[in-house]
Structures are given as structure tokens and as C-alpha cells.
Amino acid sequence: MSKITNCPITRTIELIGGKWTFSIIYVLMKGTKRFKELERTIDGINTRMLVKELKMLEANEIIIRKAYATVPPTVEYSLTSKGQELLPVLDALKTWGKKNINFDN
């Protein structure tokens, strides 16, 4: 491994670095959501990309996918304990953004 791939920041970004990852985690911070709730809540994401990001987050044990045998099928997503550890990181990013980014554009 090169020094850059041993860097904890680089490895973390590889793990959770999708364009929509933080948006999905941010929505799930507020509790369990169904697929359509996620899709409606996250502006600009399309169905294909949401499915891709959710699968990646599930594979990396950031979220839990729970499917219910109903008609039509019900699928819910929530954060794992590993995913919940990202909450202070998101709060810090939110605080930094409010302080340093002009939202009046």
C-alpha cells in the first residue's frame, strides 16, 4: 500500500465518499425512513443513484436495510451504530458550512 492509501482520511472518504452519502446519512439522522421518503427528501437524487448509494452504505455497514413481506413490499433504512458515529462529523460540517459559506446566492 502507498502512504496515501494508508491515510485514515483517504480511507474514510473511500468508504463514505459518494456524492449523496452525507445527504442520505443526514436524513437518516432523524430516524428510520422508507425508500420513497428518502427519495422525496433528497433534492436532485434520482432513483438509480439512491439505490446505488444505499447498497454501498449497507455493504459498508453504515446503514441497515430492513424489508417487510407486505404487498407492496416495504423497505426501511436506518443508521447502524457505525453510521451513528458519523453524526458529530456531520454536525461539524454543518457548523463549518454555516460559518464559511454564503447561502444568500
> What does the domain layout of the chain look like in residue ranges?
19-100
CATH (residue range 19-100): 1.10.10.10
SS3 track for 15-68: HHCCCCHHHHHHHHCCCCEEHHHHHHHCCCCCHHHHHHHHHHHHHCCCEEEEEE
The DSSP output letter for 74 is E
Q: Is the pTM of this model over 0.85?
A: no
Predicted confidence (pLDDT) per residue in 32-61, tens digit:
999 999 999 999 999 999 999 999 999 999
Q: How many C-beta neighbours within 10 Å does residue 10 have? A: 14
